[in-house]
Amino acid sequence: MKRIAGMAAFLALCALTNRAAAVVIVDTTLFTPTGTTASSDLDGYGYGTVNKLDGIFDYVAWTHHFVFDPALDVINSGVLSLSLRDDGGRYDGINLAFGMAEDRQWSFGQVNTGIYSYDVGLHTLVDGSFSVILASLLGDFFIESSVLRIDYTPEATPVPEPGTLALVGLGLLGLAMSGRRKRKAR
């Protein structure tokens, strides 16, 4: 009888703990003079090297690729962080950049060495990719990395219906009772 009570408690616990915990995806693109660490991430670039935006209208474009595993239910947040570095040249003046992402958000401003973070439009992440373009409008600077961090809730696993759990419980109770009868008969 204790076994049956233990099994029933276990089944009830399994039914109550079906909530899926949040999952975090971190996709990083590193930039080198000749490309990106994953060659499929690089969509295009202007002139010179990939990781240095040099002069007016030099640019680099890339796409983050990621897989929702386990399957996606709801995206809670998305943040894009760009690591930029001034080249430190002695003729440096003001470095200006323009960036635009797939979600149509854009930013314009002065570039210094540091990490620039932006919230991402969640609806654009559902397809498993996110594209970005960064252009130099004045001056020159390096892009070192682009990190996309996505926090999402996966689909919940199906929970047996109460009727199914009741049938399983009754079946276990019947097995226990028949075992008890056999022991008494000996």
Identify the pLDDT of residue 7: 56
- CA 31 – CA 61 distance, rounded (Å): 11
Predicted model pTM = 0.75
Mean pLDDT of the 31-59 span: 95
Mean pLDDT (the chain, rounded): 86
| Interval 165-185 mean pLDDT | 73
Token reading at 22: 């949040």
Q: Which CATH number fits domain 23-154: 2.60.120.260, 3.40.630.30, 3.30.70.260, 3.40.50.300?
A: 2.60.120.260
176 pLDDT above the threshold of 90: no
What pLDDT score was predicted for residue 72? 92
> Residue 11: its pLDDT value, please?
52
Predicted pLDDT of residue 6: 57
Contacts for 176-181: CB closer than 8 Å, 24+ residues apart = 176/1, 176/3, 176/4, 180/1
Segment 149-177 mean pLDDT: 78
| pLDDT (0 to 100) of residue 171 | 76
Give residue-wise pLDDT tens across range 50-82.
999 998 899 999 999 999 999 999 999 999 999
> What's the pLDDT at 23?
96
Q: What is the 3-state secondary structure (H, E, C) of the chain?
A: CHHHHHHHHHHHHHHHCCCCCCEEEEEEEEEECCEECCHHHEEEECCCCCCEEECCCCEEEEEEECCCCCCEEEEEEEEEEEEEEECCCCCCCCCEEEEEECCCCEEEEECCCEEEEEECCHHHCCCCEEEEEEEEEECEEEEEEEEEEEEEEECCCCCCCHHHHHHHHHHHHHHHHHHHHHHHHC
Distances (CA, A) of 116 to 65, 100, 119, 133, 137: 20, 13, 11, 14, 17
Token couple for 101: 């992402």
Residue bearing the bigger pLDDT, 170 or 15: 170
| 180 exposure class (CB count in 10 Å sphere: 0-12, 13-18, 19+) | exposed
Q: Residue 101: is its pLDDT beyond 90?
A: yes
CA dihedral 155, 156, 157, 161 (to 10 degrees): -130
pLDDT reported for residue 18: 53
Cα of 27 vs its chain's centroid, Å: 7
